[in-house]
Amino acid sequence: MLSRILEPEVMDTPEEARDYDSMDHSQVNRVFIADFLAIWNRQSPILDLGTGTALIPIEFCRQSSKGVIVAVDAAAHMLKLAEANVLRAGFKSRISCRLADAKRMGFTDGTFPAVMSNSIVHHIPEPRSVFTEIARIVEPGGTVLVRDLLRPNDEATLRHLVETYAAGANDHQKKMFAESLHAALTVDEVKDLVAGVGFDPLGVRQTTDRHWTWTVPG
């Protein structure tokens, strides 16, 4: 198993924001939202943790006519693009973007009936802090869907994943993806974290060749 190699916690340069936003996440995002809608308790506001450029909330609004989203990220350049994307998509009345640290967001306990997060955990040096925060801000009986990259077993698998899923990307985008895979967690590591904040580790499983998913149906 590859050792975890941390990457920068916050992608907050204009180049990183532009390159991330221009990568084709559309299919992954559609599947993520379909999976969320399948377990969602139909209550809002929904927190999107680590929203990046708000592609996940926008996809949610395209698939569902109900629900409002608070989209948070620690990267100001990402949020600048997020706000432009939301405005362009016509969902400003349903999506609000806020600058916030996933490890300490400042919301009161149990604020959100639902929390979703796609690909933020691998950015966090001590991911327990994020799981603790999710457990704190979701209301009892609320919906949780967290998905992130899965750390490969070896360098050959990592290279294969980069060439498979970032084949048409530029060199910087490929580098970002490879670094993210190196920084990701294993399923067993995520199960330990979930159990540590009082949730059933059986809710964690590998869902693709490069993703794990934690679900708590509402």
Phi, psi of 143 (to 5 degrees): -90, 135
How high is the pLDDT of residue 172?
86
In order of start, what are the domains of the chain with their CATH numbers?
21-149+187-216 (3.40.50.150)
How high is the pLDDT of residue 173?
86
- The answer to whether the predicted template modeling score (pTM) of the entire model surpasses 0.85 is yes
Q: Counting every residue, how long is the chain?
A: 218
Whose tokens are 């084709």? That residue is 24
Helix, strand, coil abundance in the chain, percent, nearest 5: 45, 20, 35
Mean pLDDT across the chain: 93
DSSP for residue 107: P
Radius of gyration over alpha carbons of the chain, in Å? 16
Residue 55 carries which side chain, given as an amino acid letter?
L
State the chain's maximal CA–CA distance in angstroms. 46
Alpha helices in 55-142 (DSSP H): 55-63, 76-89, 128-137
CA distances to 83, 123, 194, 207 from 176, in Å: 23, 11, 26, 22
- Is the pLDDT at 61 greater than 70? The verdict is yes
How high is the pLDDT of residue 51?
96
At 72-86, the pLDDT tens digits run 999 998 899 999 999
* β-strands 95-99, 112-118 pairing: unpaired
